[in-house]
Amino acid sequence: MTCQDHKDLMMAYLDNELNDQQRRAFEAHLASCSECTKEMGEFQRLKHMTDSMTLVEPEDRVWEQYWNNLYNRMERRAGWVLSSVAAIVLSIYFGFELIETIVTDPAVGVLMKAGLLALLAGLAILFVSVLRERVYFWSRDRYRDVRR
Ligand SMILES: [Zn+2]
């Protein structure tokens, strides 16, 4: 077999595709031929490079990270919006219960009732807003502690 024949076998050798007899003959030639040994080194380097590239696939990982972050953000935002709306609705409901007697009192004018409702809604929104802010900063502080 010529050196070119052995060079044709190098990829197959690295991929473990040679049978025992072929492998022994190949290794015997490498031991006696410095040119093929050098060539083999190049092939090995190339194979390591392509192997590690297929293992890591950085682009996929970046996209995965991107979608994870996006999903987390969407999830958190949806959570905030839902709980905010729920808190506002509940505050208005229970607040309305409390001042229902005033609102349903025919002696109280319509403008007064509207004003009370607006006040109540405003207070509910403020309450939720402050609560959100508190929880936001609290969670940021917690993250900071974790990173330390
Ligand atoms: Zn050779």
What would the DSSP string read from start to end of 9-33? Answer: HHHHHHTT-S-HHHHHHHHHHHHH-
Q: Tell me the CA–centroid distance for residue 26 and ligand 1, in Å.
A: 9
Q: Tell me the CA–centroid distance for residue 28 and ligand 1, in Å.
A: 10
Which pLDDT belongs to residue 63? 74
Q: Tell me the CA–centroid distance for residue 87 and ligand 1, in Å.
A: 79
Structure tokens at 61: 């990982």
The protein residues having their C-beta less than 5 angstroms from ligand 1 (an ion) are 3, 33, 36
Give domain limits for the chain. 3-56, 79-147
Mean pLDDT to the nearest integer, 57-74:
74
- Residue indicated by tokens 């974790």: 146
Q: Tell me the CA–centroid distance for residue 19 and ligand 1, in Å.
A: 19
Q: Tell me the CA–centroid distance for residue 35 and ligand 1, in Å.
A: 6
- Residue indicated by tokens 């919006």: 81
Highest mean pLDDT pick, 7-11, 75-79, 109-113, 138-142: 7-11
- Is residue 17 predicted with pLDDT exceeding 80? yes
The answer to whether 26 and 9 have CB atoms below 8 angstroms apart is: yes
CB contact set of 95 (below 8 Å; sequence gap of 6+): 120, 123, 124
- Is residue 134 predicted with pLDDT exceeding 70? yes
Which pLDDT belongs to residue 148? 47
Which pLDDT belongs to residue 138? 67
Determine the Cα–Cα distance for residues 7 and 49; give it in Å rounded to an integer.
19
Confidence of residue 70 (pLDDT cuts 50, 70, 90): confident
Q: Considering the entire predicted model, what is its pTM? A: 0.37
